[in-house]
Amino acid sequence: MNTVKKSETNKFKRTHLYYKYTGFYSFVGQSLKKAIIPIIVVVALLIALDRYVVDFSDLFTYITITYAPLNVLLVFLASESLLGLVPPEIFIAWSDKMPQPILYLTLLATLSYIGGIISYFIGKWIFTIPRVYAYMEGKMKKHLKHIRKWGGFLIVVGALLPIPFSMTSMAAGMIHYKFKNYLLFGLLRFVRFYLYAIAIFSLL
């Protein structure tokens, strides 16, 4: 029993040292620093706009009346599948104005997860076309380098933090990262949506 515990402890220490020396912790720290300031700025801007310029409650209510939920959800799926073109926070705020906010929030989280899977297979497809792969490898050099080094941990970071989850997923597909592991780590996308909803729902 003690031998097993010692082996597990040593494995944890080796893993910790690996991520320390390869710069994983530094990368996460820098990503958090870069993300926190824009998030604070965006939240402050939204509060100021809501108070002095636009009533976001009325705006999102107007959107829910004018556009069919299916259309909004399809736009969101397209965004999450193609490099996260629209910030998901906008859609989270929209879900708060729907008749069943938690249901629509869960739909958004599910679509974001599915969008990541689509991005993963886009990455695999890119790998089969030499010219496209060469171009994308240049554009996504940083993501590919990180995911080759850190694998699942980078997917966890992409799922939870304001790092483009679609790009991380695409990079995972391009290097043929194990799909079942990708699916497992990608589930943390749900955690991010629910945590963000707690903050956004309280503001609107």
Inter-residue contact 101 to 148 (CB < 8 Å): no
**Residue 96 parent element (H or E):** none
What is the predicted pLDDT for the residue at 189? 94
What is the predicted pLDDT for the residue at 88? 87
Residue ranges of the alpha helices (H) in the chain? Answer: 2-21, 24-52, 56-66, 69-81, 88-95, 101-127, 130-139, 141-150, 152-160, 165-174, 179-186, 188-203
Q: Please give the Cα distance from 172 to 126 (Å, whole number).
A: 12
Q: Please give the Cα distance from 107 to 99 (Å, whole number).
A: 13
**Residues belonging to the chain:** 204
Model pTM score: 0.73
What is the predicted pLDDT for the residue at 116? 95
Inter-residue contact 193 to 101 (CB < 8 Å): no
Burial class, 75, CB count within 10 angstroms (exposed 0-12 / middle 13-18 / buried 19+): middle
What is the predicted pLDDT for the residue at 130? 82
Task: Please count the CA atoms within 13 angstroms of the CA of 89 that sit on its side-chain side.
Answer: 17
**pLDDT per residue of the chain (204 residues) written in tens, 0 to 9:** 555 555 666 666 776 676 676 666 676 666 666 666 666 776 677 667 667 776 666 767 777 778 889 999 999 999 999 877 788 888 998 998 888 999 999 999 999 999 999 999 998 988 788 887 777 777 777 767 777 777 777 788 888 877 778 888 988 888 888 999 999 999 999 999 999 898 888 766
What is the predicted pLDDT for the residue at 142? 72
**Domain residues of the chain, as ranges?**
22-203
